[in-house]
Amino acid sequence: MNDIVLNGKERIAYLRHTMETAIDRGLMQEIDAPLDHYHANGLYGRRIYVQGGATVITKVHLTQHITVALKGTCTVYGENGSRKIVTSPDVFVTEPGTQRAIYCHDDVEWITVHNCELKNVPEIEHEIFCDNFQEYDDRTDYKSFLLEFGLSECLARSISENIEDQTLESEANIDVKPSELEGLGVFSKSNFSVNDLIGIARTENGMRTLIGRYTNHSKHPNVKFVDENSIIKAYAIENIQTGEELTTDYRKAIMLSMKLRYLS
């Protein structure tokens, strides 16, 4: 029997799942890691305090920033499989796409400094962190999409929020609610198999439904938009479970919309 070899990302994800399961079953106690927040001239700093003997799994970092080890010693395992003992004081740069598992040998203090003008902590955390690497791929790929089509985030948002082409017609088997990816998203209220019709995204007269308005972008989408007699319909391209967010590739969606405008 061959051994299963996990890469760095998979090891951290497995450790996180194991710890969360242990906490849910009462076998492990979730630690309290206090935070201090600092704001100055477009910069945001967060100082974290962790007790000795604790293991911390960081979120996936979206932006490059400065990390400062202020106190203590810890062993840091990186998403690339690296292992490093960090003893304060130490300063280094954390790159986008970084996730770490950290074992604290004694009480430690860290501070990270980010280029961020936001003041509201939940909004800041959405700007600088994400929960997993699939979300990281989706959010960074969205920025690549904007560059490819010469769109700013402000312009893309104004197009998305334009009420003149919204009918907001609902489908019985979808729900609109807050998304981890961005704003509101479309979520399945039932199971779908590959090639199942989910609903209409844009009507014959060019009006967007809830599916057309709120479906978020993904590098690995589970839905595709298809033109059927000038009606854009959404079909599953993967098996989708109840409660799962529906996503599509905006590149293909925008090309489809441009084609219909050209032909009309």
- The amino acid that residue 124 corresponds to is I
pTM, full prediction: 0.75
- pLDDT computed for residue 6 by the predictor: 60
Distance CA 206, CA 108 (A): 57
Measure CA 133 to chain center. Answer: 8
- pLDDT computed for residue 261 by the predictor: 59
Residue ranges in the chain modelled with pLDDT below 70: 1-6, 259-264
- pLDDT computed for residue 3 by the predictor: 53
- pLDDT computed for residue 262 by the predictor: 47
Domains annotated on the chain, with CATH: 8-130 (2.60.120.10), 133-263 (2.170.270.10)
- pLDDT computed for residue 93 by the predictor: 95
Question: How buried is residue 182: exposed, middle or buried, by Cβ count under 10 Å (0-12/13-18/19+)?
Answer: middle
- pLDDT computed for residue 168 by the predictor: 72
| Contact of 14 with 6, CB cutoff 8 Å | yes
State residue 249 phi and psi, 5-degree precision.
-90, 115
Identify which of 96, 82, 103, 81 has the alpha carbon closest to the alpha carbon of residue 8.
81
pLDDT in tens, 128-156: 999 989 889 998 998 898 998 888 888 88
What's the whole-number average pLDDT of the chain?
89
